[in-house]
Amino acid sequence: MSTRTLSPLGVSCLVLAALGCARPAEKAAPAGAPLQRIGPGEGAVSIVAWAGYIERGETDKSYDWVSGFEKETGCKVSVKTAATSDEMVALMNEGGFDLVTASGDASLRLISGGRVQEVNLSLVPSWGKVDPRLQSAPWHTVNGKHYGVPYQWGSNVLMYNTKVFPKPPDSWNVVFQETKLPDGKSNRGRVQAFDGAIYIADAALYLKHHKPELGIGDPYALDRKQFDASLGLLREQRKIVGRYWHDAFIQVDDFVNEGVVASSSWPFQVNLLRSKGAPVASVIPKEGATGWADTTMTHVQAPHPSCSYRWLEHSLSLSTQGDLAAWFGSVPAVPAACKGNTLLGDNGCETNGAPNFDKIAFWRTPVAACGAGRECVPYHEWVTAFIAVIGGH
């Protein structure tokens, strides 16, 4: 999608001229401070989002939580799809966007970098409906200040071909180590792994179960020995991985046309493939799973702050939450959306993993000072090390 140019804040006449409006613009709050009141809609809102998170019925007309919002508010929605959290951070650093659906491995970076603004919760009437476990989650709440509105959560799953695996695989070993699969063939070249430095945590979670002597507790707080062991596992995995995926739709194609039979994935790809009749299913193996609790955050220089706040409220509506959960295979941030939604069904949240909240290692940005006097490997080293691994080093 195209590069966007940020309209300078405070030069309201230029903004209004671009929109063809005659009314004075709402005065912007100081950088980083929460908006004080919602003014007239600016006519647009731009969102950086994960694939499948902002649907207007183009893929399936039953899934559309954009058209009604646009009609009601006059705020035209544009979306820039990002494949990884690192890409989201880069786009928000670039500027020109209003909102981002950030996962926990991006949100704290955006806060510490001054790229997102504090949310005025009084301007989000549905805040009280948000799952209490998410309202003050540490990946979007700093020093008691909220920098986002929870959107959805879920786990990274092991997606597999049911013709190759008549029974669900019970371990992540089918994608981490070379092995003979139930069809009698090796998994070499037939498996994938996520193309993101945060995937090191998946390796750490696997080693937590299989090598307890490493003493891994939190897969995002790894000392040097634990980190090196995780990299060692990923280097072995590199020998069997056919592709490191970051584009959800390319992974879907790979499962249909390229002979891929097992990979870490999101429920979104599983649902999309099943809707096409593909022989796939998913499971959370015995080692557990990493996961994501995503937060809609507002850029510190959002060009359309009033439309942004209108979207924040819309994102928490029961229909949006339930429809998105049905489409993506995620769990609503608003528990009430789990009942009464035609697309999701009254058992949809349970199917999507709602009971697993306490079992998920939610994505979080690794930092050096990781508590209890421990010194851990910070995220920038995760990035450089992971690039080296996938490069064969």
CA neighbor of 219 nearest in space, from 101, 361, 81: 361
CA neighbor of 123 nearest in space, from 39, 205, 184: 39
Measured distance CA(13)–CA(251) in Å, rounded: 45
pLDDT tens-digit readout, 167-214: 999 999 999 999 999 999 999 999 999 999 999 999 999 999 999 999
Q: What whole-number percentage of the chain has pLDDT above 70?
A: 92
Strand pairing category for 280-283 and 262-265? unpaired
User: Lowest-pLDDT range, 25-39, 161-175, 238-252, 262-276?
Assistant: 25-39
pLDDT of residue 118: 97
Is the pLDDT score of 137 beyond 80? yes
pLDDT category at 27 given cuts 50, 70, 90 is very low
Indicate if the alpha-carbon torsion angle 94, 98, 102, 107 is positive or negative.
positive
pLDDT tens-digit readout, 58-73: 999 999 999 999 999 9
Measured distance CA(175)–CA(96) in Å, rounded: 39
pLDDT category at 33 given cuts 50, 70, 90 is confident
Between the alpha carbon of residue 333 and those of residues 46, 134, 307, 358, the distances in Å are: 22, 7, 21, 15
In the chain, DSSP finds a helix count (H) and a strand count (E) of 14, 14
> Average pLDDT, whole number, for the chain?
91
Scanning the chain, the segments in alpha helix (DSSP H) are 12-19, 67-73, 85-94, 104-112, 132-135, 173-176, 200-210, 224-238, 248-257, 267-275, 305-315, 318-328, 348-351, 379-390
pLDDT of residue 165: 98
Q: What domains can be seen in the chain, in order of their start residue?
A: 12-154+292-357 (3.40.190.10), 157-265+363-390 (3.40.190)
Full-model pTM:
0.84
pLDDT of residue 30: 56
CA neighbor of 239 nearest in space, from 187, 200, 289, 202: 187
Q: What whole-number percentage of the chain has pLDDT above 90?
A: 88
Is the pLDDT score of 5 beyond 70? no
Rg (CA), the chain: 21
Measured distance CA(20)–CA(199) in Å, rounded: 46
pLDDT category at 7 given cuts 50, 70, 90 is very low
